[in-house]
Amino acid sequence: MSDSPKLLALRKSLAEASDGAAPEDSKKLAHAAIAQILMAIESGVCPLGDWERRCLAAAITSLRGGKTNEARTRARQALWPDENRRNAAVSKFPPRPGMLTLDELKREFAAALAMPGRARPGGNPA
Would you kindly state where each structural domain of the chain is located, as residue ranges? 23-114
Residue 75 is predicted with a pLDDT of: 94
Nearest CA-CA partner of 90 in 64, 58, 46: 58
What does the pLDDT average to over 57-74?
A: 93
- Considering the entire predicted model, what is its pTM? 0.82
Q: Residue 96 and residue 57: Cα distance in Å, rounded?
A: 7
Q: What is the pLDDT of residues 69-98, one digit of tens each?
A: 999 999 999 998 887 887 777 777 777 789
Q: Who's near 101: CB < 8 A, 6+ residues apart? A: 48
